[in-house]
Amino acid sequence: MLYEPKIGMSIDELDTPALLLDLDAFERNIDTMAAFFADKAAVLRPHSKTHKCPEVARRQLAAGALGITCAKVSEAEVMADAGVSDILIANQIVGAIKIDRLTDLAARCDLMVAVDNPGNVQDLSAACLAKGVTLGILVEVDTGMQRCGVRSAEDALALARLVAQAPGLEFKGLQGYEGHLVHTLDPDERAAGVRQALGLLKATKALIEMHDIPVPTISGGGTGTYDLSGTLPPMTEIQAGSYVFMDAKYVQVRPEFENSLIVLSTVLSRPVPERIVTDAGLKVMPPDFGWPKLLGYAAEIAGLSEEHAKQVAPEPASVPLQPGDRVQFIPSHCCTAVNLQDRLYVVRERVLVDIWPIAARGCAQ
């Protein structure tokens, strides 16, 4: 039977581990980002890989976002089912199975996808032609992250020409995500890196437009760089995602956003005074960006196993935790933590006010 906590109950009555959303902090994060973009030429197209949750997407759109970014076709299907009408899949969609799903999706929303390969452009065009749909295309440029993307303005031009001539496809512009810079702590180093990344996009846009192909859209940017990419030409839309939740790593880079995502956990055991063992482990708080942060107690995580977190208290007398007590953690990486849960328990002032399904969790296809 599905565990059904009652709206209105205190978080002290919630079973654990539970992924809580601090609604006040979340709303402030949405408002802070919306206020930033209110008077900018660039617009926000938030990345839903962070939250995988249609209710969060609805609130981002209500606050002024132009559309939603997705990582995967399956994630985009969930967002379209929830009524999101303007979607960018900021990835290459390759292979007959996925392209079939992609072109079905293109029939029911405004859809753009990234490309960096001529064979993929031909496959997408043939599939769109067969289904009678039109797909928007962004040519991805590698601005330094060394992931996907063409490596030069000339290669981008060649691909843009191919797209512009391909039936069923509409060349919309460029994607350039500066993911290698979003966690750079030093603001000067970050700004210099972003300027360099945007320089390549600017030169690429100029070259393509010199050949009479308009470049209306340039999409990229993340929570770590939104204020730079969002104000410097030529970026037209920013794909920031983590700002809604933040996490133990990202909050060091962007303190103007608050940690709104919290893991509520219970102390299971204190077998010796120095060691406190709690009930949320790897299956709740993935450590891909480091250990989660325990709030309020002078104890450090010493290890995670599947269902346990082990904390060590250097001064045991100062940490009065006993089995049954509740603790809270900030996950090290919000995006991977959210993907492990079915629901967000939405709380305001320690009271459960709503439960939001994380409908696209696990949507990796």
Q: Which of 84, 92, 80 is nearest to 65 (CA)?
A: 84
For ligand PLP, the binding residues in 37-56 under the rule CB under 6 A are 47, 50
Residue 210 corresponds to which tokens in the numbers above? 């010199």
Strand 326-330 to strand 293-294: parallel, antiparallel, or no bridges (unpaired)? antiparallel
Contact with ligand PLP (CB under 6 A) among 103, 120, 236, 239? 239
Q: How far is the CB of 36 from ligand PLP (least distance, A)?
A: 13
Tokens 């320690």 appear where? 350
Nearer to ligand PLP, 127 or 246 (CB): 246
How crowded is residue 298: how many other Cβ atoms within 10 Å of its Cβ?
Answer: 12
Residue 182 sits in the site that holds ligand PLP (CB under 6 A): yes
**Choices 157-165, 235-243, 259-267, 338-346; region in contact with ligand PLP by CB under 6 A:** 235-243
Residue 177 sits in the site that holds ligand PLP (CB under 6 A): yes
Q: How far is the CB of 336 from ligand PLP (least distance, A)?
A: 11
Nearer to ligand PLP, 54 or 222 (CB): 222
CA distance 198 to 220: 10
Q: How far is the CB of 262 from ligand PLP (least distance, A)?
A: 18
Residue 236 sits in the site that holds ligand PLP (CB under 6 A): no
The rounded radius of gyration (Å) of the Cα atoms in the chain is 22
Residue 282, SS3 per DSSP: coil
Give residue 189's identity as a one-letter amino acid code: E
Residue 113, SS3 per DSSP: strand
**Choices 81-89, 149-157, 239-247, 303-311; region in contact with ligand PLP by CB under 6 A:** 239-247
Residue 262 corresponds to which tokens in the numbers above? 């919290």
Q: Which of 239, 202, 203, 233 is nearest to 219 (CA)?
A: 239
Residue 259 sits in the site that holds ligand PLP (CB under 6 A): no
The counts of H helices and E strands in the chain are: 9, 17
Per-position b or e across 264-284, b if 16+ CB within 10 A of its CB: bbbbbebeeeeebbbbbbeeb
Residue 230 sits in the site that holds ligand PLP (CB under 6 A): no
Nearer to ligand PLP, 69 or 125 (CB): 69
Q: How far is the CB of 338 from ligand PLP (least distance, A)?
A: 11
357 contacts 53 by C-beta, under 8 angstroms: yes
Nearest-CB residue for ligand PLP: 222
Q: How far is the CB of 114 from ligand PLP (least distance, A)?
A: 8
Residue 223 sits in the site that holds ligand PLP (CB under 6 A): yes
Name the site residues for ligand PLP (rule: CB under 6 A): 47, 50, 90, 177, 179, 182, 222-224, 239-242
